[in-house]
Amino acid sequence: MPDEMPARRHLRSIATVCLSGRLADKLESAARAGFDGIEIFENDLLTFDGSPAEVRRMAEDLGLAITIYQPFRDFEAAPEALRARNLDRAERKFDVMQELGTTLMLVCSNVQPTAIDDDARAAADLRAIGERAAGRGLRVCYEALAWGRHVNRWAQAWHIVQMADHPALGLAVDSFHTLALGDDPAGIAEVPGERLFFVQLADAPKLSLDVLSLSRHHRCFPGQGELDVAGFLRPVLAAGYSGPLSLEVFNDEFRSAPSRVVARDALCSLALMEAESGLADIPPPPHITGVEFVEFAVDDTSGAALAAMLASLGFRHAGHHRSKQVDLYRQGGINLVLNREQDSLASEHFHWHGPSVCALALRVADAAAAIARAEALQVSKWRNPVGAGERVIPAVRAPDGMLVHLVAPDPHGGSIWDADFILAPGPPPEADGIGLTAIDHIAQALPANGLAGAVLFWRALFGLEALGPVDLTDPYGLVRSRALVSPGGGFRLPLNVSDSRETTTGRFVSAASGAGVQHIAFVTADVAASVARLADRAPMLSIAANYYDDLAARWALDEAVLAAMRRLHLLYDREPGGAFLHAYTDTFEGRFFFELVERRGATGFGAANAAFRLAAQAARR
């Protein structure tokens, strides 16, 4: 590293409302994650059993600046009878600010039915509060709430700030309040940078909700939702804004998640926005060309059972690690690794999760650049111990604890398998298994509050595109699914969560003690031929006969084709780009299962068949 790193232009800040726990816990989590500053949300201070001066000392001890005190509500353009009281209320808040050691307060636009629709009156009130703030060495900034009674657009707020024309009064802008209304942030670039006093960032999914409900319950960190937050930030930076970049998120799931985890995601999100807006220069997301291997943590008993299941699916034992209790199974371009090594991360993973996927490896063009990007985004790196002559494979750790290795081409033409494994001679290509050639997708089951963090990790580090959410119907509840796909389709990752502990997803998460890979889909050029070649060696998931009657009605399939699908328990889906045929194995020890996939021009995942698969799995319990 260079002796001196260039100082960042903007402080990184987070609002206390983003985090769970007591105020002291929130401050500590923000500091440990690496934030420079903290917004004090008023309710967090009001419920704190101590003075504002104590909060100031706690923040100072943790190296945190208190960037703003907020919000001051329902002030401007109130009925005349409330004007004097509102100014007195502001003076009380100025007392608090001075104890806290912050010089900036956020005033949000009035939402009361009694608010007067008069920009001149609003400007006069804001000039008055600005004058009082200036008298005490303080400043205030005015923000348009998306549900403000009369002021709900940033340009309206800026117009009123200009009318008020006071040096202690400036504009605050928030990506959520702008983008959730479909407002255009481009004009913010024309606001003088010194009049932009504060910038808040938040994302959100695109849901059919009123903007207030969306704000109170479903905001998320930038990169976790569907709003163009980087597109909002670019004109802010073009205006010359030099103050803090602060996250303000109201989210029910975040309030129940550990604050240290949420704070870590928050900092990654902010680093991503700095990169996507052009504020920071970091390596681009790595180009993923495929999955090099999937690694299972097993013990002797489960390892033997899983090896037998893989053999029934046409996989052959292809080698043994030179120094560890690790075996390689292969078919086509698929590499599956069974790790029985004691005193290892895999052993620790098995202790907590049972037989499960503990790691996967992605093929990338430049592993070193990917690790540099991970460091810039505050993503944890990992390095496994290696023996003499073995290849070092860089890795990062996903939020659920799974390792993601990064395998780049060897400039000398070798491979990790040549270096680390004693390989068995391979069979001729025509004898290789049942026709499985590659990994099509890997599906993870996550706890309900783990989806946003996982989306952020994969999108931020690897540039995966998050597709729109899909609801899947399980006999025992709803499963929410969101798939991520790399540019070019080299890696596909559906993520599934469920609030019910009785769905297949919920039961997996409970059994796996948190989260993990629930199923792996293999590519075949002819799924019917592949399943037929199993010759009852592998237990396949049985699909109800009624499903095929419905297929005949919906798609007018040839009777002979339909009869073969019924006999082989194949599922079929059609989309504008083509068809998707697939079949599932039974679940291994009640944990994970495999899928065989034939794509005929389709890009989806056969989501229309998920209800039938889930019902069949529920029936097998």
DSSP calls for 527-596: HHHHHHHHTTSSPBPP--HHHHHHHHHHH---HHHHHHHHHHT-EEEEETTEEEEEEEBPPBTTTBEEEE
Tell me the CATH number of domain 12-276, given options 3.20.20.150, 3.30.465.10, 3.90.25.10, 3.40.50.720.
3.20.20.150
User: Which helix (H) or strand (E) element contains residue 247?
Assistant: strand 245-247
Q: Which residues contact 191 (CB under 8 A, 6 or more apart)?
A: 158, 171, 239
In this prediction, what percent of the chain has a pLDDT beyond 70?
96
Determine the Cα–Cα distance for residues 67 and 57; give it in Å rounded to an integer: 14
| pLDDT at residue 428 is higher than 90 | no
Q: What is the DSSP letter of 109?
A: P
Q: Which residues contact 615 (CB under 8 A, 6 or more apart)?
A: 474, 475, 544
Reported residue count of the chain is: 621
Which pLDDT belongs to residue 554?
A: 87
Which pLDDT belongs to residue 430?
A: 56
Determine the Cα–Cα distance for residues 230 and 275; give it in Å rounded to an integer: 9
| pLDDT at residue 6 is higher than 50 | no
Which pLDDT belongs to residue 1?
A: 32
Give the pLDDT band of residue 7 (cuts 50, 70, 90).
very low
Q: CA 518 → CA 87, 404, 450, 605, distances in Å?
A: 58, 16, 15, 15
With the CA atoms of 590, 592, 594 and 597 taken in that order, what torsion angle do they form, in degrees rounded to the nearest 10?
Answer: 120
| pLDDT at residue 5 is higher than 50 | no
With the CA atoms of 293, 299, 302 and 307 taken in that order, what torsion angle do they form, in degrees rounded to the nearest 10?
Answer: 40
Mean pLDDT of 361-374: 96
Give the pLDDT band of residue 429 (cuts 50, 70, 90).
low
Architecture of domain 436-619: Roll (3.10)
| β partners of residue 66 | 38
Q: CA 290 → CA 294, 295, 363, 488, 493, distances in Å?
A: 11, 15, 5, 10, 12
Is residue 488 helix, strand or coil? helix
| pLDDT at residue 9 is higher than 50 | yes
Q: What is the DSSP letter of 102?
A: -
In this prediction, what percent of the chain has a pLDDT beyond 90?
81
- In angstroms and rounded to an integer, the radius of gyration of the C-alpha atoms of the chain is 28
Out of 78-87, 217-226, 505-514, least confident range: 505-514
Q: How does pLDDT run across 131-182, given as a tens digit for each residue?
A: 999 999 999 999 999 999 999 999 999 999 999 999 999 999 999 999 999 9
| pLDDT at residue 391 is higher than 80 | no
Question: Are the C-beta atoms of 129 and 87 separated by less than 8 Å?
Answer: yes
Instruction: Report residue 221 as tokens.
Output: 């960190």
Q: How does pLDDT run across 434-458, given as a tens digit for each residue?
A: 999 999 999 999 998 899 999 999 9
Check residue 487 and give left, alpha or beta (phi > 0: left; psi -120 to 50: alpha).
Answer: beta
Q: Residue 505 CA to chain centroid, in angstroms?
A: 18
Give the pLDDT band of residue 431 (cuts 50, 70, 90).
low
Instruction: Report residue 564 as tokens.
Output: 């073969």
Out of 81-95, 119-133, 202-216, least confident range: 202-216
Mean pLDDT of 244-261: 92
Q: Read off φ and ψ for residue 4, nearest 5 degrees.
A: -130, 125
Domain range list for the chain: 12-276, 288-431, 436-619
Mean pLDDT for all residues in the chain: 93
Determine the Cα–Cα distance for residues 342 and 356; give it in Å rounded to an integer: 15
Give CA angle at 223 (219, 229), nearest 5°.
Answer: 75
Mean pLDDT of 417-433: 80
Q: Strand 436-446 to strand 516-524: parallel, antiparallel, or no bridges (unpaired)?
A: antiparallel
| pLDDT at residue 399 is higher than 60 | yes
Neighbours of 413 (CB within 10 A): 7
Which pLDDT belongs to residue 514?
A: 73
Question: Are the C-beta atoms of 476 and 393 separated by less than 8 Å?
Answer: no
Give start and end residues of each alpha helix (H) in 206-343: 211-218, 229-238, 252-256, 259-276, 300-312
Give the pLDDT band of residue 2 (cuts 50, 70, 90).
very low
Q: What is the SS3 assignment for 179-209?
A: HCCCCCCHHHHHCCHHHEEEEEECECCCCCC
Could you tell me the pTM of the whole model? 0.91
| pLDDT at residue 568 is higher than 50 | yes
Class of residue 247 by CB neighbours under 10 A (exposed 0-12, middle 13-18, buried 19+): buried
Question: Are the C-beta atoms of 130 and 169 separated by less than 8 Å?
Answer: yes
Which pLDDT belongs to residue 390?
A: 66
User: Which helix (H) or strand (E) element contains residue 423?
Assistant: strand 421-423
Residue appearing with tokens 């078919």: 331
Q: CA 565 → CA 11, 274, 372, 529, distances in Å?
A: 60, 51, 48, 11
Q: Do domains 288-431 and 436-619 have the same CATH topology?
A: yes
Q: How does pLDDT run across 17-72, given as a tens digit for each residue?
A: 999 999 999 999 999 999 999 999 999 999 999 999 999 999 999 999 999 999 99
Q: What is the DSSP letter of 220?
A: B
Determine the Cα–Cα distance for residues 563 and 130; give it in Å rounded to an integer: 78
Which pLDDT belongs to residue 387?
A: 59
Give the pLDDT band of residue 255 (cuts 50, 70, 90).
confident
| pLDDT at residue 467 is higher than 50 | yes
Give the pLDDT band of residue 385 (cuts 50, 70, 90).
low
Determine the Cα–Cα distance for residues 56 and 188; give it in Å rounded to an integer: 33
Give the pLDDT band of residue 280 (cuts 50, 70, 90).
very high
Out of 243-247, 253-257, 457-461, 545-549, least confident range: 253-257
Mean pLDDT of 604-619: 95
Architecture of domain 288-431: Roll (3.10)
- Measured distance between the N- and C-terminal CA atoms of the chain, rounded to whole angstroms: 55
Mean pLDDT of 372-384: 88
